[in-house]
Chain A
Amino acid sequence: MTLVTLLLLAAALIGIGFYGALSQQSFVMLMMGLELILNGVMLAAVAFWALSGAGAPEGQLLTIVVMAVMAIEMAMGFALVVAVFRTNQADVTEGITELKH
């Protein structure tokens, strides 16, 4: 377990997440891709904190902030899905454009 292997793992997670976020039609599945990307980011942040940052507290803080972003993204995302679905009865990403009217 070295910094490089940790970063490789993080890169792999981000890569898979990227694939998911780009390929999925459904809005909820798209959010899963985003979550996976953030998962990789958090892992990288902790790896830097532990192995390269001499335990500077900002490293941990960054992870928490990412987690908060994740939570907010999820909560708002789902709330939006509900609102869109209520008017459109659809949940694919293309439906979001219709939220304007």
Chain B
Amino acid sequence: MAVSWLQRLAARAAVPVFPVRGMHGEEVLYRLALTPGIKLVDSPRHASILLVAGGVPPDQHDALRRVHDQLPGPFATLWYRSEPLDELAGATRLDDPDALPEALKTIHRELMSGKRGSSPRLLPDEPPNPWEGLGDDGHGGKGMMGGVPYGRPMAMNMTDDIRDGLTLDSLTVTLGPFLPMLPPGLTAEVTLQGDLIQSWTTHSAPYPIALESVFFQALQGPVPIAELERARARYHLKRLHFALRLAGLDRLALEALRLAFAPHPGQDRAMALRRRLVRCGFFRLTTTGRGRLDENQARRVGGIAARAPGLEEDLRSRDAAYRRLEFTPIIQGGADTNARWCQTLAEIEQALQLADQAERDAVHTQRSDGVETPRGPWHEQWPEEASDLLDDLLPGLEWDEAMSTLASLDLAPLSPWSLEETSGAPVPTSVEERRA
């Protein structure tokens, strides 16, 4: 009976969930991060449930199958607002974000007690290359470096090193689209020498990010500035959450998220957050002076990345209502990771302060020919998707530097749907009209 006792205990564990971040699936994961009893893990090996949050484009179904098969058994899948793969037609599907935590816990319990079987393997049990019984030693190898020992070729030197002139082996891998450190949907072919990135070729752009509907309404007519600015702060805080989690600051990451979900986030709380970040050494220990954008790149990325190096590009300064609130764009002096985070925090504070002011006087925007989204200016055209500049930016960076640079850059395109649409809230009619 020892086993069943063990299983009962295991059923009460915090549910380890590996999230596959599909299109528009981010929002529910932020909520899960704040839910007790659920643990979002970084590696599929550490999970008992694969949560596919949001749709996955068909050309990435193969990658999804690979990740699915990498969970050690027993495991189950849950599809949140996502169509299960054909082979898994019977898998649990769910559209209600409020029911999600409970569903995850139930699945985990059922899995542990044996009521629910493990999800089947989707890919054939074959090595990447046949090797058994082949080659000089029966393991697929030939000579010293040849063949496919144990199914894979050996790493060879491809390119000269870009830093110190020692030409050693380089490792070429494709990363993504579901690597938890990368923006969801980004895939790239990366060559590393040691822990240094030699070359980076972006294959597919990150999934589009949905803005709150107030940004869409701002293009239709006047909207309350308070609402607009709070939405802006929320957007930045969610990105900050991601970066802080990456830096191992779980507590402040959740603080940022709580601030984002607070009904009336005050400027004082944002300032407190910034002070705590400074005090714990985030700017001195983690963010780096790497990942520097030149002026063209900064302009292309737009938004925070443009204002951090000092380009005073902000559509808000053209709006008389903003001018009445004494708005001036904040700028920093640098184009690196550090400056971008300083800029982000400063803009969060500024947005919350503007929101408070604007709420007092009930100020509305006056111009509706363009809106400054958190991602950059949007009037005649969208903020451009700019993930291909990573190809120039990341080579030469150490892995950790590269990841923190990636987290500090917001390169994803904007979704034509608003956040409320994609996460199930009633769709405001104005947006419907705009799309039609």
Contacts and interface: CB of A to CB of B under 8 A. Distances in A.
Within 8 Å by CB, do A and B touch in the complex? yes
Contacts of B165: 86
Nearest to B165: A86
B166 interface: yes
Interface residues of A, number: 4
Contacts of A85: 166
A65 B167 CA distance: 36
Contacts of A82: 166
A93 interface: no
A89 interface: yes
Interface in A55-95: 82, 85-86, 89
Contacts of A86: 164-166
A85 B165 CA distance: 9
Contacts of B167: 89
Nearest to A87: B165
A89 B167 CA distance: 7
A86 B164 CA distance: 9
A82 B166 CA distance: 8
Interface string B148-167: 00000000000000001111
B417 to A, nearest CB: 54
Interface in B163-191: 164-167
Interface in A17-56: none
A66 B166 CA distance: 32
A101 B167 CA distance: 20
B386 to A, nearest CB: 37
A90 to B, nearest CB: 11
Interface string B234-271: 00000000000000000000000000000000000000
Nearest to A89: B167
Contacts of B166: 82, 85-86
A86 B167 CA distance: 8
A92 to B, nearest CB: 13
A83 to B, nearest CB: 10
Interface in B117-176: 164-167
A89 B166 CA distance: 7
A82 B167 CA distance: 11
A86 B166 CA distance: 5
Nearest to A85: B166
A45 B167 CA distance: 42
A85 B168 CA distance: 10
A91 B313 CA distance: 55
A86 B163 CA distance: 12
A87 to B, nearest CB: 9
A85 B167 CA distance: 9
A85 B166 CA distance: 7
A88 to B, nearest CB: 11
A82 B165 CA distance: 10
A53 to B, nearest CB: 46
Nearest to B161: A86
B113 to A, nearest CB: 54
A28 to B, nearest CB: 14
Contacts of B164: 86
A84 to B, nearest CB: 11
Contacts of A89: 167
Interface of A: 82, 85-86, 89
6 contacts: A82-B166, A85-B166, A86-B164, A86-B165, A86-B166, A89-B167
3 pairs of A and B residues whose beta carbons are closest in the complex: A86-B165, A89-B167, A86-B166
